Structure 1
Amino acid sequence: MKLTIEEARELAHRVMRRLGHDASEASIIAEHLIDCELRGIGYGGLARAVSIAERLGRTEDRRRPMAILQETPVSARLDGGDRIGYVVGHRATEIAIQKAEAAGIAIVGASDTWYTGMLSVYAEMAAARGLVTMIASNASPWVAPHGGTEGRLGTNPICFGFPSEAEPVIWDIGTSAIIHAEVTLAGRLGKELPPGVAYDGAGEPTRDPAAALSGAFATWGGPRGSGLGMVVQLLGIMAGSAPLPPDLEGFGFLIVAMRPDLLGPEDAFRRNVAAYAQTIRETRPVPGGGPVRMPFDRSRAERDRRRGEGVIEAEDAIVATLRRIAED
């Protein structure tokens, strides 16, 4: 189904308001979801709003006000109050930006949250203010470590952001072979998973989304991705999560923000970032291959294209479900 961008944004906003978020929170969540749609990441867009409704329906409303538990001029520990990570991550990033602009560097951890979304959203916020960032978020143990078939770490995204004289450089990846939202959406649509990305509860390879959700996902990148996922799990623990957060609750989110002028002139750094990005894009491609890209180039181009067209495409079943929620 085709929706205008504004129709999709308004639908997401109405659903979030119906689920008990205030107008400001609903706007933050809706913008995050629509950014996913614009970048071609449909499983993290409107489909995620259905999962948010299901999670709140399962746990009922346990939300508390966010509160700073511990603070210094360069750090803060934020209690997310069981609020969704789009809101908690946004607030943690705002705090990190304020502190880094004042002191040059900042680290902010947030706990008791869930569904932190695309970490690149927060990296773009900070890059727009001239800050370098490292961001990590752990999750429930849906992913098996390399060589295992039982969940011991989350899908665990990690992200780095660099301001530039041109477009910022953003690298944002999950450390699992498939993302939880992808599996959930495949189940909703009656589709199989790709081979080699999940195990069932008995430890056997599976392409069935329901079996994968009751089993475990594989890691991305073999032992390297597995190790990186463990590092993200530990950074989430540093932010205040339990070692293995319960299902869709108690995630840890960590952001480190730095002013590049701590180590040299900011304008020179920005020029060098832009120059390096250009050398990457000018790399000779493999025979028959397309142009070499920097991280985030595809997302940025897709977002610009869809904004130009003014429409997104969403699954009919997802839109129908969201309209029911909004009107309930």
Structure 2
Amino acid sequence: MTTLSLPDARALVAAALTTCGYSATDVETIADHLLDCELRGLSFGGLARALSIAERRRATETPPQPIRIVAQTPVSATVDGGDQVGYLVGMHALELAVAKAHAQGVAVVGARNTWYTGMFSYYLEKAAAAGLAGMIAGSGPAVVAPHGGTEGRFGTNPIAFGFPATPAPVIWDIGTSTVMYGEAKLKARLGEKLASGHAYDAAGAPTLDPAAALEGAFGVWGGHKGSGLALVVQLLGMMSGAAADPSGVADCGFFIVLFDPGVLTDAGDYRRRVAAFAESVRATRPVEGGSPVRVPFDRSVNCRDETLRRGTIDVPEAVVTALRREAAGV
């Protein structure tokens, strides 16, 4: 592992993204998202993701087009991402949704023709800071097998919910696969194995090899219930106009709904009640010998606070070396 200061980590990502053609404004947006993943201990979505972005850019002959709104009403919008990376498209969709939810009390925004949208909790934390509750669901390429199957039919299909509270929002953010796409990509880069029972190769045989899994299928999380949730998330993402089974890393669907609690109740009182309820959950008596009960997003917040205090992150040496090569245009 290589230890990097937080400024050095951001500078390395920025240099690699700049070299592969992103503007200074776009670099700032993408780098902030990737660094937040690292701060929260989610390295598969952190610096290593910049390598995947650069590889995707090089593999695509047609240059990306501007992000544009193709349909909208006072409470809704449909966005064509122009094959831009999802960190940019997701922020565009979020900003539209926040503005509409503040104006109308509710907003529904869908985005298509994008890829790598990142952590949905990243967007919902910003929505919660604006006083809004919401949900985001995302579809993608068929890399996850439904329960009982060994062929990809779903994307990794994350879904997240966020609720404003003080000092930190309550956010639940999960993927509906046993392993996330970014995890498999990072393990393949580092020559590591997947956990048993998480994936199948192209012939349908169980595999620990992440490269074989990327050619085959990941397992679905949560048995038949998780499989049903994955199907629903795929259909929500498709509501943006995204394909059911896009080819390669492309045309992911991004579906966001935001609500202003103030249209139903006193917004300040709601925030206080959310915070109080979260505290009551944390105060639950744990099982004998168990750890204190946590609320979703607690781990992320605590890890981020500790990383910020430390001021450094540990990154696999292979990732740092590859990023330096990208930054140098090698």
Task: Provide, for residues 33-73 of structure 1, a one-character-per-residue CA deviation record: whole Å limited to 9, x for no partner.
Answer: 00010100111101111111111111135200011000100
Equivalence for 1:78: 79
Q: 1:229 and 1:5 mapped to 2: Cα distance?
A: 35
Q: 2:93 and 2:285 mapped to 1: Cα distance?
A: 40
Matches within 5 A, 1:110-129: 110-129=111-130
Equivalence for 1:229: 230
Unaligned runs of 5+ in 2: none
Q: Which amino acid aligns with 1:81?
A: G
Equivalence for 2:105: 104
The count of aligned residue pairs is: 328
Structure 1 residue 155, shift from structure 2 partner: 0.3
Q: 2:234 and 2:101 mapped to 1: Cα distance?
A: 24
Equivalence for 1:13: 14
Equivalence for 2:51: 50
Root-mean-square deviation over aligned CA pairs? 0.8
Equivalence for 1:286: 287
Q: Which amino acid aligns with 1:180?
A: Y
Q: 2:294 and 2:100 mapped to 1: Cα distance?
A: 33
Equivalence for 1:196: 197
Equivalence for 2:264: 263
SS at match of 1:195: coil
Q: Which amino acid aligns with 2:99?
A: Q
Structure 1 residue 151, shift from structure 2 partner: 0.2
Q: 1:170 and 1:60 mapped to 2: Cα distance?
A: 38
Q: Which amino acid aligns with 2:156?
A: T
TM-score after normalising by structure 2? 0.98
Structure 1 residue 247, shift from structure 2 partner: 1.1
SS at match of 1:43: helix
Are 2:156 and 1:136 aligned?
no
Q: 1:59 and 1:287 mapped to 2: Cα distance?
A: 54
Q: 2:286 and 2:253 mapped to 1: Cα distance?
A: 39
SS at match of 1:81: strand
Moved over 4 A (4+): none
Q: 2:22 and 2:62 mapped to 1: Cα distance?
A: 11
Are 2:67 and 1:66 aligned?
yes
Q: 1:303 and 1:254 mapped to 2: Cα distance?
A: 26
Unaligned runs of 5+ in 1: none
SS at match of 2:239: helix
Are 2:276 and 1:275 aligned?
yes
Q: 1:199 and 1:112 mapped to 2: Cα distance?
A: 27
Task: Provide, for residues 94-113 of structure 1, a one-character-per-residue CA deviation record: whole Å limited to 9, x for no partner.
Answer: 00000000110000000000
Matches within 5 A, 1:307-318: 307-318=308-319
Equivalence for 1:205: 206
Q: Which amino acid aligns with 1:39?
A: R
Q: Which amino acid aligns with 1:226?
A: S
Structure 1 residue 114, shift from structure 2 partner: 0.2
Task: Provide, for residues 196-232 of structure 1, a one-character-per-residue CA deviation record: whole Å limited to 9, x for no partner.
Answer: 0000111111101111111100001111111111111
Q: 2:63 and 2:113 mapped to 1: Cα distance?
A: 11
Q: 1:60 and 1:10 mapped to 2: Cα distance?
A: 27
Equivalence for 2:242: 241
